[in-house]
Amino acid sequence: MSQFWLYYKLGLYHVLDINAYDIILFLVVLTVPYTFSHWKRILWLVTLFTLGHTLSLVMAVYGLVRVSSALVEFLIPLTILVTALFNVFTAGKKGNRTYGPAFFVTLFFGLVHGLGFSSYFKGIIAGEENKLLPLLEFALGIETAQVIVVLAVLILGGMLSAVFRFNRKDWVMVISAVVVGMVLPVIIENYPY
């Protein structure tokens, strides 16, 4: 049982590590357009991220895929940028929250980020006979941490909206624009070509 907590906490801290804020930024721009009334959709999106992350870790750990780390480090902030820009251009528009684009980008980000973490994770589970169980325990920690971040974004958005009386469109635009400003330098710094 102590092994469970080891991998679970590793997944939890993987998302909540302030020094590795890319997942947090992605979750912020993924969640900011929604309210608590959209909880099912948000849960699906967060779960898709975890599935993508876990799938790419499984493929990397078992040697089924190998991708350049420079490309992965470029794609991670690029995916955050795409999500933030989608928010900026669709904020306040009715009916623009279709499932397809958000689900695809979320799954893609999970796949990309899992590849970015795969070398480190392979080193951690190198001595394990059964590699699938630690992967699933790690995924459970990721899912828990994501729910924490999503709840924080929803609560903060609801409180600020109630206190300062700004509309949802402004909230989405401002937060997404701030994230765009944060990831652009990272994209430029990690440009692989």
Whether pLDDT at 82 is above 80? yes
The pTM (predicted TM-score) of the whole model is: 0.87
What does pLDDT average to over the chain? 86
Q: Which pair of structure tokens corresponds to residue 182?
A: 């944060």
Whether pLDDT at 101 is above 70? no
Output the DSSP codes for 107-158: HHHHHHHHHHHHHHHHHHTTT-S--HHHHHHHHHHHHHHHHHHHHHHHHHHH
Whether pLDDT at 100 is above 90? no
What would the mean pLDDT of 11-34 be, rounded to a whole number?
A: 89
Judged by average pLDDT, the poorest of 1-10, 19-28, 79-88, 134-143 is 1-10
| Euclidean distance between CA atoms 51 and 164, whole angstroms | 37
Helix axes 132-164, 39-61, angle to 10 degrees: 150
| Euclidean distance between CA atoms 42 and 34, whole angstroms | 8
| Euclidean distance between CA atoms 182 and 163, whole angstroms | 26
pLDDT of residue 95: 55
* pLDDT single digits (tens) 141-183: 988 998 999 999 999 988 888 888 888 888 899 999 999 999 9
What would the mean pLDDT of 121-131 be, rounded to a whole number?
A: 81
